[in-house]
Amino acid sequence: MQDITTEIANRRTFAIISHPDAGKTTLTEKLLLYSGKLHTAGMVKGRKGRKAAASDWMAMEQERGISITSSAMQFDYKGVIVNVLDTPGHEDFSEDTYRTLTAADCAIMVIDASKGVEKQTRKLFEVCRLRQIPVLTFINKMDMPGRDPLELMNEVENVLQIQSYAMNWPIGSGRAFQGVVDRQENQVLFFSKTSIGGSQRAGIERQALDSPETKDRIGQELFAAIRTELELLEMAGNAFSQADFLAGKVTPVFFASALTNFGVEPFFDAFIHLAPPPHARSAIKTDGAEVLIDPSSPFSGYVFKLQANMDRRHRDSMAFIRICSGKFERDLVVKHQRLNKEIRLSRPHSMLAGERTTVDIAYAGDVIGVINPSIFAIGDTLSIRGGFSFKPLPQFQPEVFARISPKDVGKRKAFDKGCQQLLDEGAIQMLRSIGQDTDVVFAAVGQLQFEVMQYRLKDEYNVETSLNRLPYDCSAWIIGDLSTFSKTTNSLLLQDRQGRPIALFPSLWDKQYAIRQNPKHKLADILDAESSATNEHFTR
């Protein structure tokens, strides 16, 4: 028992959230570099591949046999086992991005210092808030001309409605960015340049903040300005406690440059110290009572992602399982709660430093991929003991909509069968007109989901499809009495598979107008399947 508790306490499972181009890939690479696992720059994901068109993306997936885009990587950082869950952005942004985040125990929010809090970051942050995932903030690209650090801290607070606490404070910015003040230690960390591209660790020299050497090195003027800012932070800034961080009330903020490695190592060191190990997760017993599953209890986990294997040689698909408690051993026999049957988890895989390997043993906090012979659905709970299911995964507002139909009407049956499979997997959402079944609209949070859908219908069901995009940009579930809901002119009112009303809007402006027109209704961006709990911050 002791070894399981120690193993679990030594794990940090997290996701990096950011708007495209803020530096998520670069920071992930640096984590690998500092853990001694990076062999070649750019091994995390081929940037070229990631930015390529969707068809190329699929060719890439085929080549590799299995997606690495939404799985997890595991490695050792200074004796701590780190699991990084990849939350795809860019063209491959999809519901999986959100769902993967629910499998994390903590998140690193990367913000570009010249841009501040951007749209995609805001959305992902809301999932963290909903799932009570603590967030660390990494203000990146300090080596470039950026915005004022105090202004960035204020923006985090105002836009995301969370207190911010500067763990360190930058000395200079742009080309003059030379180090940070470690506020806990009252020390200055001076960084020294490495080879271009930051493929080597940055040198770090520590000096007492108030030493004459520090003043000389920084220069009297800049030193005085930094001292004033630090005093301001002490007097007017927030306090920091680990308990408030874990409760999602405050985010510790770090200023750094992932590209040049300036501030990267102190950040990772602080991260493994602050980030929580796997915690107890709430589940619902078969009698409806809520129960907390402690990470040290016997094996349990849930499926957060399904991936159809696009490799023709192996026509299997994978289910990615976040282990919530206990120890997993190869060929473990577990109870599949939804199907109420015992299954053997054979041929488990994990991603170790970018390479797919077979796992013999894994612990709470880890992610394993198992072959899915069409028995797993998103959210399925597996456990040794049985008798409970983890909280259902929330649903997220779709933002792209289309009518999709078979080109050959004779293929209708195969089309319906394929759609059913994709809907069951959670690969796509389907909406219908209220009161009639005829008008079907497919919905997704990212364009790639449609492309994958069309590709898979052709590849697996031999159905060529035509797609007609609809002119809507966002949506919201309507909570409240539908008969008193005032539908705005440009919106389209539909219902989801569970019969819940959802309105589609051509723009955020139209959506906000509808919110104002319907003060008695709640327009929800995230729907928690269990409670219909919603989050209205999302639309800001």
Q: Which residues bind ligand G4P (CB under 6 A)?
A: 18, 20-26, 47, 89, 140-141, 143-144, 257-259
Nearer to ligand G4P, 264 or 502 (CB): 264
Nearer to ligand G4P, 197 or 373 (CB): 197
Q: Least distance to ligand G4P from the beta carbon of 89, Å?
A: 6
Nearer to ligand G4P, 89 or 406 (CB): 89
Q: Least distance to ligand G4P from the beta carbon of 394, Å?
A: 24
- Which pairs count as long-range contacts for 412-416, CB under 8 Å and 24+ apart, including other chains? 414/461, 414/462, 414/463, 415/457, 415/461, 415/463, 415/465
Q: Least distance to ligand G4P from the beta carbon of 331, Å?
A: 37
Q: Least distance to ligand G4P from the beta carbon of 184, Å?
A: 23
Can you say whether the dihedral through the CA atoms of 371, 376, 378, 383 is positive or negative?
A: negative
Can you say whether the dihedral through the CA atoms of 116, 122, 124, 125 is positive or negative?
A: positive
Q: How far apart are CA 93 and CA 89, in angstroms?
A: 4
Nearer to ligand G4P, 122 or 327 (CB): 122
Q: Let me know: does 206 contact 218? Beta carbons within 8 Å.
A: no
Q: How far apart are CA 32 and CA 448, in angstroms?
A: 28
Burial of 11: CB neighbours in 10 Å, binned 0-12, 13-18, 19+: buried
Q: How far apart are CA 14 and CA 135, in angstroms?
A: 10
Q: Least distance to ligand G4P from the beta carbon of 169, Å?
A: 17
Nearer to ligand G4P, 113 or 478 (CB): 113
Q: Let me know: does 446 contact 400? Beta carbons within 8 Å.
A: yes
Q: How far apart are CA 349 and CA 369, in angstroms?
A: 5
Q: Least distance to ligand G4P from the beta carbon of 48, Å?
A: 9
Nearer to ligand G4P, 262 or 376 (CB): 262
Q: Least distance to ligand G4P from the beta carbon of 411, Å?
A: 38
Nearer to ligand G4P, 89 or 301 (CB): 89
Q: Let me know: does 276 contact 364? Beta carbons within 8 Å.
A: no
Q: Least distance to ligand G4P from the beta carbon of 378, Å?
A: 25
Nearer to ligand G4P, 152 or 259 (CB): 259
Nearer to ligand G4P, 20 or 49 (CB): 20
Q: Least distance to ligand G4P from the beta carbon of 111, Å?
A: 10
Q: How far apart are CA 84 and CA 30, in angstroms?
A: 12
What residues pair up with 187 in beta bridges, in sequence order? Answer: 182, 208
Say whether 143 sits in a helix, a strand or coil. coil
Nearer to ligand G4P, 20 or 506 (CB): 20
Q: Least distance to ligand G4P from the beta carbon of 237, Å?
A: 25
Q: How far apart are CA 87 and CA 28, in angstroms?
A: 12
Say whether 452 sits in a helix, a strand or coil. helix
Q: How far apart are CA 196 and CA 209, in angstroms?
A: 29
- Residues 6 or more apart whose CB falls under 8 angstroms from that of 236 comprise none
Go through 305-323 and write b for each residue having 16 or more CB atoms within 10 A of its CB, e for each that does not: bbbbbbeeeeebbbbbbbb
